[in-house]
Amino acid sequence: MARTHRPRLHREGCKLCQMCRYLCPDMAIRMEESGGYMVIDLRYCKGCGVCAAFCPEGVIEMVREDQGERFSGEGGSGSVRSA
Ligand code: SF4
Ligand code: SF4
C-alpha cells in the first residue's frame, strides 16, 4: 500500500534520545555518523507514525505525501533532513 504520510523531523528540538530509532518498525531512523542528528531514511519508512507519536520532544510531525499538510506532532518550522 502506498504511503500517505511521511515523518518530518525538526532537528533543532531533538534531544538525540533515539527513542524514534528504537521504536521504528522498519529501522528507517538512524543517528548520523557524527552523532549530531537523527536521519530518517524515507526509502524504508512506511509512514506508520510511531516515531511522531512517541517522540518525547514532539519534534517529529507527519505530513501528507501529496500536500505537505501537518496532521500530528508538535514540530515547528526548521530544517529537515530525510536522506
Ligand atoms: S525521539 Fe524525538 S527527541 Fe528522541 S531522537 Fe527521536 S526525534 Fe530526537
Ligand atoms: S513513520 Fe513509522 S516507519 Fe516511518 S520512520 Fe516513523 S516509525 Fe519508522
Q: Is residue 71 part of a domain?
A: no
Cβ-contact 62, 5 below 8 angstroms: yes
Q: Is residue 76 part of a domain?
A: no
Q: Quick one: CA torsion of 40, 41, 43, 45, rounded to 10 degrees?
A: -30
Ligand 1 pocket mutation pick from 20, 31, 45, 54 by most atoms within 8 angstroms of CB: 20
Residue 10: name the closest of 32, 40, 30 by CA.
40
pLDDT given at position 62 = 97
**Which residue range is the domain that position 47 belongs to?**
5-64
Q: Is residue 14 part of a domain?
A: yes
Residue 42: name the closest of 67, 58, 24, 22 by CA.
24
Q: Is residue 78 part of a domain?
A: no
Instruction: Report residue 40: phi and psi, to 5°.
Output: -105, 120
Pocket of ligand 1 contains residue 4 by CB under 6 Å: no
Q: Is residue 75 part of a domain?
A: no
Q: Looking at per-residue confidence, does 79 or 7 come out higher?
A: 7
Q: Is residue 80 part of a domain?
A: no
pLDDT given at position 78 = 38
Residue 46 sits in a domain whose CATH number is: 3.30.70.20
Count of structural domains, the chain: 1
Helices (H), 1-83: 19-23, 50-54
Does the reported pTM lie above 0.95? Answer: no
